Amino acid sequence: MATTLTLAAGRIPPHDLDAEISVIGSILLDPLSIAKVLQFLHPEDFYRENNGQIYRASLDLFAAGEPIDNVTLASQLQQMGLLDRVGGRAQLASMQSVVPTAANIEYYGRIVKEKAYKRRLISAGGNIAGYGYDDSIEAEDAINQAQSLVFGVADDRDQRELARLYDLLGPAMERISLQMESGQGIVGIPSGFHDLDRMTSGFKDSDLIIIAGRPSMGKTSMALNVGLYAALDAKKSIAIFSLEMSKEQLTERLLTEQAQIDAQRMHRGLLTEAEFDRVSNALGPLGEAAIYIDDTPVMDELTLQLKARQAKMRHNIDMILVDYLQLMHGRSRGDDNRVQEVSAISRALKGLARELRIPVIAISQLSRAPEQRPDKRPILSDLRESGSIEQDADVVMFLFRPEYYKSDEKPGIAEIHIAKHRNGPTGTIELKFRRDHTRFYNLETRRPEPGTE
């Protein structure tokens, strides 16, 4: 609003008072027209504070199911102690008289919103300049704060401490309608594994998903299988942050998974002509997939946040994969131990998922605790040695292959135990695992595996 925005170099901030008055006038002409703007237009978007207060009073009446006209709106403003301040009943009558029809209220509202965005951009620019002049802030921290401000301008709803329920009901109904139309029960990004998708309903926006297990259980394979399906079948844009493998190694890994060939045979140059053809055929789909790889080997949570925001802005990514969490370093400079450091990293990953509104999948290594038990299957308490991962995660998936410990127990079968699911059921599903392909498959395979026909 005008009263809270500092003028830059004597210039008047962007605004359109005619559009603001037209929004209010349209509401007075047709109270139901407010439904066309309430999901995106907020009282603080108005440049003139009085106009914002009138709009707020209109929202209050609408939320209460009360009629909106000159009389009821004046009464509401009177109860708020604002009627005289906004110009009284005469001002309301004047606003209604300048608009011939309420049909264009959404157009007027978009103008008001556009000007509000520009004012916030000016304000953010001033703050960013202040970071640059502040010697007490390191450059990397300043860049991170600046990016946060820019994201706040792009989606100002994230900057609110409270959201009124009526602002959320419309979008909720839209999501429910879309879910009913799909008829598949999948509301997030599917994994391609039918039983897993039935249990999770897909990986949802703002969720932190942890894939955990002891070494050689197939954690990276699972994450890459999910990423490949999301990119190739669901047509999503994926960012992979690989702290363990180089871009070249990861590319070869993706090729072997997509071509469904023996990884060791490819590495040793022993492919048959048929296998080489499968690799060649995999190039096309992978080349068209929106998969972006960063193989920075040493990374802290702040660096990951910077890179992820850039990826979101440049490539509009839909999902992030991190391999793996314990290879990241915290930025704490005190005497914090590793557990506290990992806790800070997991909190940052959850915050990133919420900020970008995309699922973040992070691989987590487990300690040796499961090895000390007769039943080697991991449990949630095994994660508690790794800081607050368990608390921060929305979904925790443990991978376990019985044949790793006993060769005759469930050969070729991997158990996926969903030990935590914040918004859904927990339980265990089983998948086929081909170690030579570094791939998981549904038990009832819809697409034949190579060599099975």
pLDDT in tens, 220-248: 999 999 999 999 988 999 999 988 888 88
User: Which amino acid makes up residue 245?
Assistant: M
* Residues listed for the chain: 453
Report the 10 Å Cβ neighbour count for 115. 20
> Kindly report the CA angle at 189 between 183 and 194, in degrees rounded to 5?
65
CA distances from 120 to 41, 116, 252, 414, 446 (A): 14, 6, 45, 51, 51
Given this model, what pLDDT does residue 450 score? 43
pLDDT at res. 237: 93
- Residue 3 is predicted with a pLDDT of 42
φ, ψ at 452 (rounded to 5°): -100, -10
Decide: 150 and 118 in contact? Cβ < 8 Å.
no
Cβ-contact 28, 95 below 8 angstroms = yes
CB distance 23 to 41 below 8 Å:
yes
pLDDT tens-place string over residues 413-441: 999 999 999 988 999 999 999 887 778 99
80 phi/psi in degrees, rounded to 5: -80, -5
Fold assignment, 2-159: DNAb Helicase; Chain A (1.10.860)
> Which phi and psi angles does 93 have, rounded to 5°?
-65, -40
Q: How far from 439 is each of 151, 257, 349, 413, 447, CA to CA, in Å?
A: 37, 6, 26, 12, 13
pLDDT at 68: 92
Give residue 1's pLDDT. Answer: 45
Contact between 306 and 248 (Cβ < 8 Å)? no
Range(s) of the chain covered by CATH 3.40.50.300: 184-441
What pLDDT does 156 receive? 56
Q: What is the pLDDT of residue 18?
A: 94
Cα 304 to Cα 89, 325, 331, 374, distances in angstroms: 55, 11, 12, 38
Q: Give Cβ neighbours of residue 180 (< 8 Å, ≥ 6 apart).
A: none
pLDDT of residue 157: 45
Rama region for 192: left / alpha / beta (φ>0; ψ in -120 to 50; rest): left
- pLDDT per residue, tens digit, the chain (453 aa), is 444 454 455 678 899 999 999 999 999 999 889 888 887 899 999 999 999 999 999 988 887 778 999 999 999 999 999 999 999 999 999 999 989 899 999 999 999 999 998 888 888 787 788 877 877 777 777 777 777 776 666 655 444 445 677 777 777 777 667 666 655 667 889 998 999 998 998 999 999 999 998 888 889 999 999 999 999 988 999 999 988 888 888 888 888 888 888 878 887 888 888 888 888 888 888 888 898 988 888 787 777 887 888 888 889 999 999 987 888 876 554 445 777 778 888 888 998 899 889 999 999 888 788 877 888 888 888 876 566 888 888 999 999 988 888 878 888 899 999 999 998 899 999 999 988 777 899 987 544 444 443
The CATH 1.10.860.10 portion of the chain extends over 2-159
Q: 184-441: what CATH class?
A: alpha beta
pLDDT of residue 448: 43
Identify the DSSP state of 191.
Answer: -
Q: For residue 7, how far is the Cα from the chain centroid? A: 34
Q: Which amino acid is residue 243, in one-letter code?
A: L
Measured distance CA(57)–CA(339) in Å, rounded: 50
Coil vs helix vs strand at 29:
helix
In whole angstroms, what is the distance from residue 119 CA to residue 428 CA? Answer: 51
